[in-house]
Amino acid sequence: MRKLLLLVLFVSVTMVTYAGGYRVSVQGQRAMAMGHTGVAVVNSAELVFFNPAGLVYLENKLNVSVGASGIFTDVIYQNENLGISSETDNSVGTPLNLYASYQLTDWMSIGLGVYTPYGSEVTWPTDWAGSQLVNNIDLAAIYIQPVVSFKLSDHFSIGGGPIYVTGSVNFNRNASRTTTDIDGVRSNITVDDSGVTNWGWSVGAMFNPTENFHLGFSYRSEIIIESEDGEATFANFPNSPAAPANGTTSFRAELPLPAELTVGLSYEYKKWLFAFDYNRQFWDVYESLDITFGNGQTSINPRNYKNSSVYRFGLQYDATEKITLRAGYYRDESPVQPGFFAPETPRNDSDGFSGGLSFAISSKLAIDASFFYLRFEEVDESYDFGDGGPFGGTYKSSAFAPGLGLTYKM
């Protein structure tokens, strides 16, 4: 058993998860450990996120899963022609998730989830070579979702519920490649807003051809975050009618949180469970990040994202009565198209490797641990629409996230 644990750790550490754009796929410790599969896995209250239809098949009346991960990301940049290089400040994101479900009747369960599927935190050195595109960005969206799940038969169930989103953004970048005040200090703009809310929804369905075989489907709607009450700060602009005034003003901007469709299956064989999920993320809604400032300035930033797919594979093994081991892999396609590679979300295609385990402290309480490593190939890319011509070079990213959680059932 020790050997096996070692092996799982080793495999997971040497190989590499996350998702394209600003999607952050860490919505459950158990699922995370299995390559973030779960649309057809009947396992815990994590189903509130992965497929609310499955909640009604959980064995226990009350199921609670809580967890948190620490995401360590790092991006490096260099341009061989110009002899320049930069590295992001190693930021640590801490997405949390909390899920609970309660079986009201034999045919109906209700649940509640709090999770953070979208976010981005990137901090480049201030005034770095790409500072006209981004100095730093901190984007977060918290989803709060009540769900209900109906068993139509032992073979088929449906579920879903409304989603309440509250988002925040803080984004700073320089006004251009060269604009400065009289002392050469770079002119820059910060936009800041929080408590931006909106509504969405998700639905799911689960089909169980046999007791060991599940097929799942889920769809989460697109939600557009519309920021209207935020504050934009213009700093270090030269004192001239040709430049915007320094100080604060309002701004308006929209950021889409794209819809996501998932289909998948799981199959149990003795102590083993295999899961496969296919995600389709509808990023094409993210055409442009347009910011209109209260002082009349505008900032148009084409994004032109494309829809993207993620292929996820997960494996679970009940090693002992108390220990369950998990491992997973996924291939994550980036929604970013060539020529639109902005260093605020510097993601290209990646391979995710994950692992983890659950340790049952008692029949009711288990500790869940997970980690993942996202491996990115280095990529030569550019963003061709900014001030002063294209900005490009070679990028390489990595992300690593250990996480811990608790599962309680009664």
Note the residues at the interface with another protein (CB under 8 A).
2, 5-6, 9-10, 12-14, 72, 74-76, 78-85, 129, 177-180, 182-184, 238-243, 371, 373, 376, 378, 387-390, 394, 396-400, 402
Tokens of 409: 């059932």
The single-letter DSSP state of residue 245 is P
Give me the least distance between CB of 14 and another protein, in Å please.
Answer: 7
For the chain, the C-alpha Rg in angstroms (whole number) is 22
Decide whether 183 or 321 has the Cβ nearer to another protein.
183
CB of 381 to another protein, least distance (A): 14
The encoded tokens of residue 232 equal 């934009």
Would you state the structure tokens that stand for residue 51, as one six-digit string?
Answer: 């497929």
Task: Return the residue matching tokens 């815990």.
Answer: 44
Our CB check for another protein shows the closer of 12 and 136 to be 12
Of 304 and 398, the one with the shorter C-beta distance to another protein is 398
The answer to whether residues 339 and 318 touch, using CB atoms and an 8 Å cutoff, is: no
> Cβ 342 to another protein, closest distance in Å?
17
Closest separation in Å from C-beta 21 to another protein: 19
Of 267, 159, 166, 131, the C-alpha closest to 220 is 159
Nearer to another protein, 231 or 387 (CB): 387
Q: How far apart are alpha carbons 76 and 279 in whole angstroms?
A: 28
Minimum distance, C-beta of residue 198 to another protein, in the bound complex (Å): 35
Q: How far is the CB of 96 from another protein (least distance, A)?
A: 21
Name the token pair of 302.
């084409």
Shortest reach from residue 176's CB to another protein, in Å: 9
In angstroms, the Cα distances linking 386 to 256, 299, 389, 403 are 21, 10, 6, 37
Closest distance of CB 189 from another protein, Å: 17
CA dist 242 → 190, 238, 268, 290, 297 (Å): 20, 9, 68, 22, 12
Between 225 and 357, name the residue whose CB sits nearer to another protein: 357
Beta strands (DSSP E) in 338-390 are: 350-360, 365-376, 379-383
Strand, helix or coil at 410? Answer: coil
Q: Which is nearer to another protein, 242 or 270 (CB)?
A: 242
Nearer to another protein, 85 or 91 (CB): 85
Dihedral of the alpha carbons of 152, 157, 163, 168, in degrees to the nearest 10: 170
CA 253 to CA 351: how far, in whole Å?
A: 32
Q: How far apart are CA 64 and CA 407, in angstroms?
A: 6
Closer to another protein at the Cβ: 249 or 394? 394
